[in-house]
Amino acid sequence: MIRSLPNTRSYTLGFKLYVILFFVFLFAPLFITCVLAFNDSQFPALPWKGFTLEWFTADLPERVGIFHDSLNLSAIVVSFKVAFWVSIFSTLVGTCGAFLFEQENFRFKQALYFLMLAPLVIPGVILGISILLFANTLGMFFENTFNLDVSLFRPGFWLVVLGQFSFISTLVTLVVSARLKKFDHSLEEAALNLGATRLQVIWHITLKFLRPAIIGAFAVAFLMSFENFNTTLFLVGSQSTLPITLYLQVRDGSTPVINAVSFLLIVGTSMLAVVNLTFSRKKE
């Protein structure tokens, strides 16, 4: 049954086989996507026609590699920009949220906490359409009342940032709260006794203690934002993010360029994952 108990041979073997199959199932699509990025063929399919880097580097009429593919490159840039702002905003607000719910007492705290958790159980599509509708309502209001045309309220870059921020902040709040729970309050009390103000204590002591969690939360926020599809789908304007651009290409047929982009994404996210894990290891 478990490792400390005697197990039959067939139980151990069968279980091992199941787990191996599970991992094959897990990695097969990623593996094949990466392999076919290097296949010298016009289609992302077998047979294998030889190794090539052309889907990355080529700039030929019949074959444009990712490094010369302006559509995907500009989408990558947009995604980086969106993810940058989303992770900055959500880390700031999420950290405030962690302090608010862990260190302050106020009326309606439970209700507000519940509200803070809500974005976790609201489907991303619904967040997207409700923010789209609300922005549109506000936009019409400003236009009718003040005769102002506010571009923020139209689908576009900043609306995507706001939409993603609305649920990623919850994740940051939870990650930072978890770390703040482990904080030894006697440190704060000592500093307060020595004459520091509350804000000085937070700045010099508590935030230093929280740094690994905040960096980890920033990385997770960045990744969540970079990969978000459901919420972004409804808020995106003329500047498309990478997942949306890729979706449109995949839906209408595919070329190995998509494999090349996917390969870069897989390598990039794996590296970010490793960085994030090293930081959270240090935290322990």
By CB under 8 A, tell whether 105 contacts other proteins: yes
Q: Which stretch binds other proteins (CB under 8 A): 11-19, 60-68, 80-88, 141-149?
A: 11-19
Tell me the site size for other proteins, rule CB under 8 A.
93
Continuous segment of H or E residues that includes residue 210 = helix 207-227
By CB under 8 A, tell whether 4 contacts other proteins: yes
For other proteins, the binding residues in 153-192 under the rule CB under 8 A are 162-163, 165-166, 169, 174, 178, 185
Q: In whole angstroms, how close is the CB of 28 to other proteins at the nearest point?
A: 6
By CB under 8 A, tell whether 47 contacts other proteins: yes
Q: Which of 58, 66, 78, 265 binds other proteins (CB under 8 A)?
A: 265
By CB under 8 A, tell whether 51 contacts other proteins: no
Whole-angstrom distance, CA of residue 174 vs CA of residue 193: 30
94 C-beta neighbours (distance < 10 Å), count: 26
Report which of 117, 94, 99 is spatially closest to residue 209, judged by C-alpha positions.
Answer: 99
Q: Which of 269, 275, 278, 282 binds other proteins (CB under 8 A)?
A: 269
By CB under 8 A, tell whether 52 contacts other proteins: no
φ/ψ of 20, rounded to 5, equals -65, -45
Q: Which of 122, 152, 187, 196 binds other proteins (CB under 8 A)?
A: 122
By CB under 8 A, tell whether 22 contacts other proteins: yes
* 21's tokens: 């199959």
CB 259 within 8 A of CB 45: no
φ/ψ of 182, rounded to 5, equals -85, 0
Report which of 151, 267, 172, 276 is spatially closest to residue 219, judged by C-alpha positions.
Answer: 276
Q: Which of 73, 88, 215, 272 binds other proteins (CB under 8 A)?
A: 272
Q: Which of 24, 77, 134, 149 binds other proteins (CB under 8 A)?
A: 134
Residue nearer to other proteins on the CB measure, 59 or 185: 185
Whole-angstrom distance, CA of residue 216 vs CA of residue 283: 10
For other proteins, the binding residues in 202-261 under the rule CB under 8 A are 202, 223, 226-227, 229-230, 233-234, 243, 246-247, 250-251, 254, 258-259
By CB under 8 A, tell whether 32 contacts other proteins: yes
By CB under 8 A, tell whether 96 contacts other proteins: yes
Residues 6+ apart with CB under 8 A from 163: 127, 128, 131, 132, 231, 232, 234, 235
Q: Where are the beta strands (DSSP E) in the chain?
A: none
Q: In whole angstroms, how close is the CB of 269 to other proteins at the nearest point?
A: 4
Residue with tokens 């409804």: 234
